[in-house]
Copies of this chain bind each other. A is one copy, B any other.
């Protein structure tokens, strides 16, 4: 109905003016941090012709910049947007995920596929969310090999072959166990990259030393790639799960871009 009737009617009422949009996705930085970085840049396009408007929209684990311009001249509008996107991208550096609105799971998938690489994921506190987000993308069988949800200590020992003495010595939520989870997934699956995620999603189970929201993520990859990151997240259980999966995907994304 929209294509057949409404669209022509709306176009005839709008003159030739159209709205042109681009969406820039950023991760790993706060809304105010992104605003401080990009404000001097987008301010230039507020006084240009055609004017490019920029809105900042923060949501869990990411910040989006929505750029738009209204005009009758398609070429001039697209050109202005392309220039603004390029200038903003420049100041964002490695925190820039995409300039076409793609979420990080799509971008990570593209990067893996371009490198003919496969990924395995070993998850504890995220409980399969990272694998599930990756498999939300059509064609993800081209780069996601396998995943383990090692939720209990016993699962970490039985399914992933983690040394029980390691868990006893450092605790299930530790750099050492995150690394061991990633390494086990890497070796068991025989892939190019593997992620390990272990943490305390809450609302209970935290301690003074290891509070709710503490999450260790580890990345293991070909050419002796070994990285870990300690997160101290806040929010509800679902928020912590989501942010932890986001950070794990971002650790991999940055490694794939070789700009860590």
Q: Which residues of A contact B (CB under 8 A)?
A: 118, 121, 123, 125-132, 134-136, 138-141, 144-152, 154-155, 158-159, 188-190, 201-205, 237-238, 241
Contacts and interface: CB of A to CB of B under 8 A. Distances in A.
Copies in the complex: 2
Nearest to A142: B152
A154 B188 CA distance: 11
A147 B148 contact: yes
A127 B135 CA distance: 6
A132 B129 contact: yes
Contacts of A201: 135
Main secondary structure of the interface of A (DSSP, over half): mixed
Nearest to A120: B155
B140 A146 contact: no
B146 A159 contact: yes
A152 B145 contact: yes
A239 to B, nearest CB: 11
Given A129-B128, A149-B128, A152-B145, A237 B190 contact: no
B155 A146 contact: yes
Given A128-B129, A135-B127, A189-B158, A148 B146 contact: yes
B155 A145 contact: yes
